Amino acid sequence: MFYMFTFFGIILLRYLAMAGFAHRLFYHHQPANVSVPRDIHLSVLSTGIFALATALIMTLYDQGMTRLHGRMDAANWWVLPLSYLAVLVLQDAYFYATHRLFHHPKLFRWFHQGHHRSRQPTPWTSFAFDPLEAGVQALFLIGVVMLIPLHFATLLAVLTTMTVWAVVNHLGLEVLPLRFPHHWLGRWVIGPAHHSIHHRRHGKHFGLYFTFWDWVFGSEDPAYADALQPSALVRPGA
Ligand SMILES: [Zn+2]
Ligand SMILES: [Zn+2]
């Protein structure tokens, strides 16, 4: 119970601070087709689910049932960045598969409708998940700490990346740094341009961090791929 309340507070504050900061920085007017109160309401519910999952992880840790540890070994420092990247790659694949499933007509209503309420995403949408979807996402974290040896710092880095990335992906198109998606690295990394297409066209762009799975399974919007061509940078009037 102590873990539960502590993590509820931490996760909620983290969401409000991150989304609020991005909102102040980038939004000078409220975009149309957006419902901030509904997104915040769902985010508070998601916070409850993630707090429950984190409390469960700490309880499992106390009982020696996770592979989380605090040992720092100078000779094997490279394990930290490597395990960090491995978790991101695994989470990206898990997210792609479950996200595609959630868009199945039989599941959408129960798992994923809430996230798509705002036709145009804002930073407040970044943590707006139906409780069932939040549960499926949290399940990944529980599985990962039980199966993969991870330093606490690595887990913290993954959670931070997850939060920051979600806020950036939901910034909406008009605040997109124009050059970045056309950069060679931007081709493989998901950003606001990529994810806002998903909110407008549900059948495209299911990925979380990397464009890889959308590219492999043909769920990439052809217009997005075209926009990545160098010639597309020179647009009349742009
Ligand atoms: Zn979706
Ligand atoms: Zn989204």
pLDDT along the chain (238 residues), means of 10: 86 90 75 79 95 94 95 87 97 98 97 91 92 97 96 94 92 59 72 87 92 95 70 43
Q: By CB neighbour count within 10 A (0-12 exposed, 13-18 middle, 19+ buried), where does 167 fall?
A: buried
Ligand 1: distance of its center to the CA of 94 in Å? 14
- Between CA 177 and CA 185 the distance in angstroms is 14
Ligand 1: distance of its center to the CA of 211 in Å? 15
Distance from the first to the final alpha carbon of the chain: 55
Residue 178 lies in a domain: no
Residue 160 lies in a domain: yes
Ligand 2: distance of its center to the CA of 166 in Å? 8
Q: Which ligand is nearest to the CA of 204?
A: 1
Q: Write down the number of H helices and E strands in the chain.
A: 9, 2
Residue 96 lies in a domain: yes
Please give the tally of structural domains in the chain.
Answer: 1
* C-alpha to C-alpha distances, 70 to 55, 80, 90, 153, 154, nearest whole angstrom: 18, 11, 22, 8, 10
Ligand 1: distance of its center to the CA of 103 in Å? 6
pTM: 0.88
> How many CB atoms within 10 Å of residue 75?
6
Tokens of 104: 């199945």
Tokens of 135: 């549960």
Residue type, 49: I
Task: Decide if 57 contacts 158 (C-beta within 8 A).
Answer: no
Residue 237 lies in a domain: no
* pLDDT value of position 192: 84
Ligand 2: distance of its center to the CA of 233 in Å? 26
Ligand 2: distance of its center to the CA of 158 in Å? 19
* pLDDT value of position 201: 83
Residue 51 lies in a domain: yes
The domain in which residue 153 lies consists of 2-173
- Between CA 43 and CA 36 the distance in angstroms is 10
* pLDDT value of position 69: 94
Residue 24 lies in a domain: yes
Q: Which ligand is nearest to the CA of 169?
A: 2
Ligand 2: distance of its center to the CA of 59 in Å? 31
Residue 211 lies in a domain: no
* pLDDT value of position 32: 63
Task: Decide if 83 contacts 154 (C-beta within 8 A).
Answer: yes
Residue type, 64: G
- Between CA 84 and CA 86 the distance in angstroms is 5
Residue 164 lies in a domain: yes
**Matching residue, tokens 């939901």:** 170
* pLDDT value of position 102: 97
